[in-house]
Chain A
């Protein structure tokens, strides 16, 4: 079973539109990480959230961790072609510093 569920699996949006990606677990997430991956390349760190209710923003990307620390969302405002790629959420679920990843959300931006 997948401990960390991401939705949607893939997303196609028109350039300039907003979008949201979700990451859900039945367990407490002690550290929640968002990474971006270009096809066939390594992971680029975006943000890390630790506290319930925490929210962080970088440029047009905002990530939130819910109060129960079991769900996170990644929101992109006014999407651009450069936002295309695979977004991966990962979490420390056992307080052992090992990251368990979801399967990723594939984002395509239409010009």
Chain B
């Protein structure tokens, strides 16, 4: 399977704990996006990378959130001191940004439940 993969698929944690999610993009895709989706809503943009550079962060991304893409391949999203409001599906997408409009391909998501 050469699509976008995310791990873990599900995570249950207690409030105040730290969690880390991983995303492996489609090989050779230079852009990687993180989105958050809550029940009954569409995905909301969090941040994105072009290669290893983090180009933009949404105001939704508080100081407790940090994302990295150290070698321009896989990415991690860490949430520190989790809160119940962080419970959501975290989606990763990748694309090949060349000239012209790109298409983002999504992974299966990581569903986070904070108790």
Contacts and interface: CB of A to CB of B under 8 A. Distances in A.
A88 B105 contact: no
A98 B33 CA distance: 9
B106 A100 contact: no
B48 interface: yes
B8 interface: no
Nearest to B91: A42
B43 interface: yes
Interface in A41-100: 41-45, 48, 50, 88, 90, 92, 96-100
Question: Interface size class for chain B?
Answer: 20 to 34
Nearest to A49: B101
B109 A31 contact: no
Contact of A88 (B42, B97, B108): B42
Interface string B72-115: 00000000000000000101010001000111111111010000
A98 B48 contact: yes
A2 to B, nearest CB: 9
Nearest to A98: B45
Contacts of B109: 40-42
B104 A103 contact: no
In the complex, the 10 A-B pairs of residues with the closest C-beta atoms, listed nearest first: A101-B42, A43-B106, A42-B108, A42-B106, A31-B101, A42-B109, A98-B45, A101-B43, A42-B107, A103-B42
Interface of B: 4, 6, 31, 33, 40-45, 48, 56, 89, 91, 93, 97, 101-109, 111
22 contacts: A31-B101, A40-B89, A40-B109, A41-B109, A42-B107, A42-B108, A43-B91, A43-B106, A45-B103, A45-B104, A45-B106, A88-B42, A88-B43, A96-B56, A97-B48, A97-B102, A98-B45, A99-B104, A100-B45, A101-B42, A101-B43, A104-B41
